[in-house]
Amino acid sequence: MHQYVRGFLFLVGATSLWGISGTVAKYLFNQQVDPFHLVTVRLTLSFLILFAYLAFAKPDLLRVKKSDLRYLTILGLGIAMVQFSYFYTISQTNVATAVFLQYLAPGMMVAYAFAFQGERVGGAKLAALLLTLGGGYLILVGVPGGGFAVNTRGFISGIVSALSLAFYTIYGKIGLSGLNPWTLLVYGFGFGALGANLLTPPWVTLVGHSANEWGFFLYIAVFATVIPFGLYFKGLKDLSTVITGLTSTLEPVVAAAVAFLVLGERMYPLQLLGCGMILSGVVFIQCLPRAGAVKVTKTQKSPI
């Protein structure tokens, strides 16, 4: 399978699973689950599950050099930050607003690639970026009486979420030049979980939850974290950061489709137009496979 098609399919899988997870998280917040506790449990369970699997099935992927640890620690903090900020934004606003703010990240990736990686940002990429951003905006405001449901804290955390997503995508791409995606993730989850548990001790986060909530925690750890992050990094290995970022904007389309099919939520004309714009932007950029063929140069190699 051509690497661009393979990378695209990995990203579609990742964004599809993430598109469902926001609704699950909002349900938990409505049950008075603290967003910071949810992230701590999510990172801890994700690390334990992935570590156990790799220790049994692929122990070689757990072996890293001491010189890798600094890089992996920073990556782990980036992964933790995007989860903290995204879930906190959901708790302060709504899922649609949180997703829209987070997916300002592709614009940040385009600016970084142009300024620091020497990547050409021509009309095709700018057109795809405008289509995906505009489509996300229409999905957000397309509901009559809807729109931004955001306070100052939610807006700031949403921007932090976008910056964090852009950071770990760019930084993760560097690490993929020398490490397996699952190695990046298990150590990223591990260092992220360590930091989260230092901030909020496990004897605080692990108590007082019902069996039903633990079922949702397990779902989020496996189907909203381990599997989609794995697919995302495998897609990132095949594609450039810009193409990865633009393709990941499929998440709000998936979220809207799931809400329509599963929850029976109505899709309004502006929302349908927004979905069409995002799909057009993603398909358009995929028709230019050379745009994703950014090789890691000497100035881009991992610091590990």
CB 192 within 8 A of CB 42: no
Return the residue matching tokens 């799909």.
279
The amino acid that residue 106 corresponds to is: P
Confidence of residue 73 (pLDDT cuts 50, 70, 90): very high
Q: For position 4, what pLDDT does the model report?
A: 77
Distances (CA, A) of 130 to 158, 250, 282: 19, 14, 11
The amino acid that residue 297 corresponds to is: T
Q: For position 291, what pLDDT does the model report?
A: 47
Confidence of residue 125 (pLDDT cuts 50, 70, 90): confident
d(CA 134, CA 245): 15
**For 84-94, what is the mean pLDDT?**
86
The predicted-structure confidence for 184-218, as pLDDT tens digits, reads as follows 999 999 999 999 999 888 888 888 889 999 999 99
Return the residue matching tokens 């940002």.
121
CB 164 within 8 A of CB 82: yes
pLDDT at position 74 over 70: yes
- Most confident stretch, 180-189, 193-202, 244-253, 294-303: 180-189
- pTM for the predicted model, two decimal places: 0.84
Distances (CA, A) of 55 to 49, 60, 67, 117, 182: 10, 8, 21, 36, 12
Distance of CA 231 to the CA centre of its chain: 11
- The crossing angle, in degrees rounded to 10, of helices 251-261 and 123-141 is 30
pLDDT at position 113 over 70: yes
d(CA 195, CA 106): 27
Q: For position 146, what pLDDT does the model report?
A: 61
Return the HEC string of 18-43: HHHHHHHHHHHHHCCCCHHHHHHHHH
- The crossing angle, in degrees rounded to 10, of helices 227-238 and 152-175 is 60
Return the HEC string of 214-266: HHHHHHHHHHHHHHHHHHHHHHHHHCCHHHHHHHHHHHHHHHHHHHHHCCCCC
CB 251 within 8 A of CB 245: no
Burial of 268 (0-12, 13-18, 19+ CB in 10 A): middle
Confidence of residue 303 (pLDDT cuts 50, 70, 90): very low
